[in-house]
Amino acid sequence: MDRKRRFYIIVEGRVQGVFFRATARDIARSLGIGGWVRNRPDGKVELVVEGDEEKVEKMITWCRKGPPGALVTDIKVKEEPFKGEFKDFAIRY
């Protein structure tokens, strides 16, 4: 059985205005993981992702590059206790 994990992620660089949130939502849903993504006022994007360890690791790997048009310069990943609170992955505003 897969281990469940939860991470809080901050992505820096050219990550707003390049469909980062929409692409992140689509990828997370295709992986079957829960959580959310939103733009921050400081130009960064933040995410919370929860799910099977292997699937969450794939999402983190994607965040290191982002969608076409993005230029990720840094990513901060912090593990948090798994809560299982999400049924889906959503864009927050």
Residue 71, token pair as written in the block: 């230029």
Helix (H, G, I), strand (E, B) or coil at 46: strand
SS3 content of the chain, % helix, strand, coil (to 5): 25, 40, 35
Looking at residue 65, its pLDDT comes to 97
Q: Residue 57: pLDDT band by 50, 70, 90 thresholds?
A: very high
Residue 56, token pair as written in the block: 């969450």
Q: Residue 15: pLDDT band by 50, 70, 90 thresholds?
A: very high
Residue keyed to tokens 């999402």: 59
pTM surpassing 0.85? yes
The CATH architecture annotation of domain 4-91 reads: 2-Layer Sandwich (3.30)
Q: Hey, where are the domains in the chain?
A: 4-91
Q: In this model, does residue 64 exceed pLDDT 70?
A: yes
Q: What dihedral angle (degrees, nearest 10) is formed by the CA atoms of 80, 42, 73, 71?
A: 110
Q: In this model, does residue 1 exceed pLDDT 70?
A: no
Looking at residue 8, its pLDDT comes to 98
Residue ranges of the alpha helices (H) in the chain? 20-31, 53-63
Residue 84, token pair as written in the block: 């299982």
Among all residues, which ones are annotated catalytic? 21, 39
